[in-house]
Amino acid sequence: MKTLWDRVQEAMKAEGINMAELARRAQLRPNTLTNWKSGKTQSPRKNDIASVSSALGVRPEWLLLGITPMRLERVAETTTGYRAEANLSPAKRIILRALEADLSRMTDEQAEAWFVSYQKTLDKQN
């Protein structure tokens, strides 16, 4: 039976990233992942599971428990939880992935400022 770490490794391989890059994308301390790998952490925090699953583009249920499928198209965090983006066009999925990458590098304040600016642009167009 696969462990949490086995699934993390499988998803990292699919994404073509290493543990340091995963920690960066998920905004976790590298020793958090090291503790998962060693088995020292038996019950990871929900926020950590959500961050890692989002960074890897996998369903949190799959990551934590192995409940398939691994992915539902691209999974994104929303204010109501997780949703499959099956209704987005390929172009919109690419844009969303780029936006997710940019947001993961921003502070909360930067993200909020970006969103306010974005909303003002939309208001001007309408």
Mean pLDDT within 22-28: 93
Task: Tell me what pLDDT residue 69 has.
Answer: 79
Dump pLDDT digits (tens) for 49-97: 888 988 998 888 888 888 777 875 544 444 433 444 555 666 666 677 7
Task: Tell me what pLDDT residue 91 has.
Answer: 67
Task: Tell me what pLDDT residue 2 has.
Answer: 84
Res 36 pLDDT > 50: yes
Res 21 pLDDT > 90: yes
Distance CA(120)–CA(56), nearest Å, equals 32
**What's the full length of the chain, in residues?**
126
Res 23 pLDDT > 50: yes
Task: Tell me what pLDDT residue 42 has.
Answer: 80
The pLDDT-based confidence of 12 (bands split at 50, 70, 90) is very high
CB count, 10 Å around CB of 76? 17
The CA–CA distances, whole Å, from 7 to 3, 36, 49, 56, 86 equal 6, 11, 12, 11, 23
Dump pLDDT digits (tens) for 93-112: 667 777 777 777 778 788 77
